Copies of this chain bind each other. A is one copy, B any other.
Amino acid sequence: MIPSKINFSEKFSMLSDDYSVRIVAKMNDYEIKIVRFKGEFVWHSHPDTDETFIILEGTLLMHFRDKLVELKSGEMIVIPKGVEHKPASREGYKAILIEPEGVPNTGDAKSEMTINKIEWI
């Protein structure tokens, strides 16, 4: 079966919270997600996997313990596994997130932001 194409604007139009993350597709055992976020996320790392952010809108300030990387639309970064990071955004950002299925959104950190099961959209 050929899956239908995915239109990111259509998917994002269904999400309005300051923080939303949803699965839009699977590629092998990886999930392709969309995320919108405004505010300060929690410091965390993913001990078992790298994680890719591709920015579609807005500005993401990716904090590392010894570096700050500002990401805008048309830019991406791969967070290496085990590296502590804290996403933050004053104006808000929208991004594509790619990582293996089942990776917890807050990695090794437990927080009120932890989502137990990320839904499809």
Residues on A lying within 8 angstroms of B by beta carbon are 1-9, 24-28, 30, 32, 49-52, 54, 56, 64, 66-67, 69-71, 74-78, 80-81, 83, 96, 98-100
- B51 and A54 contacting across the interface, CB-CB below 8 Å: no
Greatest chain B CB density within 10 A among A51, A75, A78, A80 is at A78
Cβ contact of A75, chosen from B2, B6, B76, cutoff 8 A: B6
- B25 and A78 contacting across the interface, CB-CB below 8 Å: yes
List residues of chain B with CB within 8 A of the CB of A3: 77-78, 80
25 A-B contacts (beta carbon < 8 Å): A2-B64, A2-B67, A2-B69, A2-B80, A2-B83, A4-B77, A5-B69, A5-B75, A6-B75, A6-B76, A7-B74, A7-B75, A8-B74, A25-B76, A26-B50, A26-B78, A27-B50, A27-B98, A27-B99, A28-B50, A28-B100, A30-B30, A32-B76, A32-B78, A98-B98
Cβ contact of A77, chosen from B5, B9, B81, cutoff 8 A: B5
